[in-house]
Amino acid sequence: MKSKTSALILTALWGLLAAGLNHSCFAQTGASTKEAYPTKPIRLVVPVAPGGVTDTSGRIVAEGLSKRLNQQVIIENKPGASGNIGAQLVSTAAPDGYTLLLALDGTLVINPHAYEKVGFNALKDFAPVAKLGDSIIILVANPNQPFKTLKEMVAASKTNPQGLSFGTSGNGSITHVAGELLKEKSGANLVHIAYKGGGPAAADVTAGHTPLAFSSASSVSQYIQSGKLVALGVPSAKRSVAFPDIPTFAESGISGVELNSWVGILAPAGTASSIIEKLNREINAVLADPAVKERLLVSGIIAAQGSAADFAQEIQKDYTLYGKVIEQAGIKVN
C-alpha cells in the first residue's frame, strides 16, 4: 500500500514537472515569436484611390519600411466613403501586426462626426502606431480680389452682404473644417462651396469664378509660384518649412485656428505593445532618412517623428476639436 501511494505521488510530481516544462517552452516560443516579428509580408490598407498625396506618402514609407523589416509591406488600396471602407476593414482585422491602416485625419477624426454611420469606433478600434507627417493647408485668393492679406479678406467679407465664397475639396473635408473654424474665430462672412477635389477648387479660384479656396499645397503651389494665386496664410501653429514666406493665421492676428492635415499608421486595437513599439521605431527611422523627407516634401507632406503615445494624443485632441466645429457648423455628409 505504501509502495502504491509513493508511485502515485511520483507520477503526480512528474506530471507537474512536465507541465511546467511545457509552459516554459511555450513562453520561450512566444517570446521568440514576438522578437521575430514580422515573419511574413505586412498589408498596409490605404483607404483612398492610388495616385494622390495620401497614397504616395504611404508608398514612400512602405518602401523604406520593407527594407528595414526585411519583409515586404504591400499596399492595398480600398477606396470608398471618404476612407470609411478601408478603415472598417482594418478595425476588424486580426491584431497581429500584419494588417495596418494608412489613416488620414478626415477618415479618423472628421468622418465619425459628419457621417451618420462609419462602421468603426475611431478611438476604440485602433491602436496608433506612428504619425508620418502633415499635409500643408493654404488659404489662397484670386489676385484680382481687393485684398492681399488675411486681415483684409476678413474685413472685406464683413462688408459683403452675400459673403465671400471659399472652395474646398469637398463637404466634410479637413479644408472645409478649416474654413468653418476660421469663420468661428474671426467672424468672417464666408460661404462654403464643395468641389470634387482640391484641384477643381484651385482651378476655379485661378479662373476668378471663386474668390477663395482652402487647399493642400500640392494643389496650389504651382499657382502661387506663378502669381496666379495669392497665399493669405496657413492655419498651422508655425510657418511651413516649404513655404516660409506665408504667415500663419496667428501672425495675421487671428488666433485659435490651428490645425494640420495629417497622415499616419494605425493597427487594430489589441495589437501587442511590442509590435507597436517595433513598428514605431522602424517607421521613425524611415522618416529620419533625408531622401525620404525630400520625397515626402515634394508630394506635399512634411515628415514627422514621435511616439505612438504622441500620435494617440493628437488624434484625441483633433477628434474633440473637429467634433465641436462640425456640430456648430452643422456639417453632414450623406
Please, what is the average pLDDT of the chain?
Answer: 89
Rounded Cα distance between 294 and 239, Å, is 18
Nearest to 308 by CA among 334, 333, 272: 272
pLDDT band for position 9 (cuts 50, 70, 90): very low
- SS3 category, 270: coil
Tell me the per-residue pLDDT of 26-80, one tens digit each, with 9 for 90 and over.
333 333 444 589 999 999 999 999 988 899 999 999 999 999 999 999 999 999 9
Does the domain spanning 42-134+261-329 belong to CATH 3.40.190.150?
yes
> In the chain, where are the structural domains located?
42-134+261-329, 137-233
Does the domain spanning 137-233 belong to CATH 3.40.50.300?
no
Ramachandran area for residue 321 (φ above 0: left; ψ -120 to 50: alpha; else beta): alpha
Rounded to 10 degrees, what is the CA torsion of 116, 329, 80, 40? Answer: -90
Nearest to 243 by CA among 230, 252, 234: 234
Instruction: Find where cell 533625408 sits.
Output: 290
Q: Tell whether omega for the bond before 38 is within 30 degrees of 0, i.e. cis.
A: yes
User: What average pLDDT does the segment 270-290 reach?
Assistant: 98
pLDDT band for position 160 (cuts 50, 70, 90): very high
Tell me the per-residue pLDDT of 258-276, one tens digit each, with 9 for 90 and over.
988 999 999 999 999 999 9
Model pLDDT, residue 334: 72
Rounded Cα distance between 229 and 232, Å, is 9
Instruction: Find where cell 476678413 sits.
Output: 154
* All three cell numbers of 50: 492610388
Tell me the per-residue pLDDT of 305-324, one tens digit each, with 9 for 90 and over.
999 999 999 999 999 999 99
* All three cell numbers of 58: 504611404
Rounded to a whole number of angstroms, the distance between the first and last alpha carbons of the chain is: 81
Tell me the per-residue pLDDT of 178-214, one tens digit each, with 9 for 90 and over.
999 999 999 999 999 999 888 899 999 999 999 999 9
Say yes or no: do domains 42-134+261-329 and 137-233 share a fold.
Answer: yes
